[in-house]
Structure 1
Amino acid sequence: MGTKFKGSKKEVQALDSFIKLKRASESLSSRLISEFSKWNISESQFGVLETLYHLGPLCQKDLGDKILKSTGNITLVIDNLEKRNLVERVRGVEDRRFISVHLTSEGKKLIEQIFPDHVKRITSEFSVLSPEEQDALGKICKKLGKKTEPTSK
């Protein structure tokens, strides 16, 4: 279902594409994150665990930037993970103002349990696209995500 908006051809096409992108993204996310409930973690908590697992310790700001969360939201996510002993905040030795977030052994164990199944589910979901379509989708998404020129009115 596309837009019912009666604007210019350019506007209708952009809105229609946006609606399809948003619905596909929401539908896919819904199917993928439904499995997180059995581990009692949110999508944001999974994002933190997965990022720390693959990139190593990061400061809160960098971690928030990686998973696209505000500083206030990332603080809450980390607080909740810390309460469960899945991550810990570590003060810098040379500069005690610098605090990095690290996976605990429990956090590492959990993400190592969850991540392989998550990859399998993503692979299965994307199997409806050919490798070439997946590459094209990746390029299009990257182009949309990095758009920096001023918006036209």
Structure 2
Amino acid sequence: MGTRYRGSTEQVLALDVYIKLMRASDAVANRVHSHLKAVNLTVSQFGVLEALLHLGPLSQSQLAQKLLKSGGNMTLVIDNLQKRGLIERVRSNTDRRTISVHLTEAGRKLIERVFAPHVEQIVSALAVLSEAERHTLGQLCRKLGLAQKDNGNNQIF
């Protein structure tokens, strides 16, 4: 087991699975995101560009929800992308309170160039698993993630 904690069997198993999940997630993420440094993008910046490429213009709050980021963090990410000329904020003509985030041409070219190698990194990282194992892992991750929506806001500290 991956933990030295001496609790109940259920606690020790849960901690062991959690440790393995986090280590695997970090290892895969580090491998998959390693190419982003070469194009001077953070993981969050890449996520914004990718979401805008595949979903079209979105509000800042929609982007934060899609990427599981706080509003404050998303503001900083979007500010930095805007400074680089990769995205632009566009105010609605019909409702001046509504601002959507759009890719610029430079942003579109960058994400289109970077996305294909990103996908290949993911394919390569997951190649150790059979197709059936990838399906099972996907189902288990979805189940685990969806279950947290009901319990995620219970702060214990």
Pairwise TM-score range, normalised by the shorter structure: over 0.9
Aligned residues: 151
Cα distance, 1:149 vs. partner? 4.8
TM-score, normalized by length of structure 1?
0.96
Unaligned runs of 5+ in 2: 153-157
Cα displacement string for residues 55-102 of structure 1 (whole angstroms, at most 9, x for unaligned residues): 000000010110111000000000000000000000011001000000
User: Which residues in structure 2 correspond to 1:1-153 (within 5 Å)?
Assistant: 2-147=2-147, 148-150=149-151
Unaligned runs of 5+ in 1: none
> What stretches of structure 1 move > 2 A for 4+ residues in a row?
148-151
Cα distance, 1:150 vs. partner? 5.0
> CA RMSD for the aligned pairs?
1.2
TM-score, normalized by length of structure 2?
0.93
Letter in 2 for 1:100: S
Letter in 2 for 1:123: V
Cα displacement string for residues 94-129 of structure 1 (whole angstroms, at most 9, x for unaligned residues): 001000000000000000000000001100111100
SS state at 1:145 partner: helix
Letter in 1 for 2:106: E
State the alpha-carbon separation in 2 of the partners of residues 2 and 118 from structure 1.
30
2:155 is matched with which residue? Answer: none
Cα distance, 1:23 vs. partner? 0.3
